[in-house]
């Protein structure tokens, strides 16, 4: 019978040194530096956008609070409609450059509703504008119904999500 070979080693295996993860060539370093700068620029832009949308988040929070007040019967739909209009005006003023704030603040009635529609890119307010205007300026107007309030609230939520600042037309 033949003898089996001995597979035990008296010395340990010699392994190669670990491979470095650092780039070894100048083009690789340049590529990594470019990628790092690109990432920094993207993060900076995302941060600026986040900061620039703070007014939207605040307005959405105020809209939720207004809805809670209605649910708790702390105000009626007519008072909520007035507060909602004020909320939209403040959000619109925060979105435009300083040079256009006076022109935007002066908008009312159909011009205001059309401005909201133009900045939203959809007809959200004009169909309801006349009724809303009546509620805003005539204290003895018919009470706002729950269905009207829901339409106005949905329009406001949609506008807060999607509006873009554009030049105010006087």
Does the pLDDT of residue 169 top 70, yes or no? Answer: no
Cβ atoms of 63 and 53 within 8 Å: the answer is no
Query: What own/partner pairs with CB < 8 Å and gap ≥ 24 does 111-117 have?
Result: 115/168, 115/169, 116/88, 116/92, 116/159, 116/163
- In which band, very low, low, confident or very high, does the pLDDT at 139 lie, cut at 50, 70 and 90? confident
Interatomic CA distance for residues 140 and 152, integer angstroms: 20
Note the pLDDT of residue 10.
Answer: 63
% of the chain exceeding 70 in pLDDT: 92
pLDDT at 117: 92
Distances (CA, A) of 56 to 81, 87, 95: 19, 10, 9
Encode pLDDT of 95-116 as tens digits.
Answer: 888 888 899 999 988 899 999 9
The predicted structure's pLDDT at residue 153: 93
CA distance 152 to 124: 8
- Taking the C-alpha atoms of residue 44 and residue 48, their distance in angstroms, rounded to an integer, is 6
Please write the tens of the pLDDT for every residue from 115-129. Answer: 999 999 889 988 888
- Position 73 pLDDT exceeds 90: no
Distance between CA atoms of residues 34 and 61, nearest Å: 39
- pLDDT at residue number 167: 62
Q: What is the mean pLDDT of residues 28-45?
A: 96
- What span, in angstroms and rounded, lies between the C-alpha atoms of 27 and 34? 10
């Amino acid at each position: 019978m033949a003898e089996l070979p001995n597979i035990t080693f008296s010395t340990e295996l010699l392994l190669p040194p670990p491979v470095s993860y650092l780039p070894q060539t100048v083009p690789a370093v340049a590529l990594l530096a470019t990628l790092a700068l690109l990432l920094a620029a993207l993060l900076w832009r995302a941060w600026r956008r986040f900061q620039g949308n703070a007014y939207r988040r605040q307005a959405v929070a105020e809209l939720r609070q207004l809805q809670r007040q209605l649910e708790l019967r702390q105000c009626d739909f007519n008072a909520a409609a007035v507060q909602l209009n004020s909320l939209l005006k403040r959000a619109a003023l925060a979105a435009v450059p300083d040079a256009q704030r006076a022109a935007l603040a002066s908008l009312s009635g159909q011009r205001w509703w059309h401005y909201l529609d133009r900045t939203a890119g959809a007809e959200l307010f004009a169909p309801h504008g006349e009724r809303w205007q009546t509620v805003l300026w005539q204290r003895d107007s018919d009470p706002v119904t729950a269905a009207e309030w829901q339409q106005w609230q949905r329009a406001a939520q949609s506008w807060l999500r999607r509006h873009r600042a554009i030049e105010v037309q006087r």
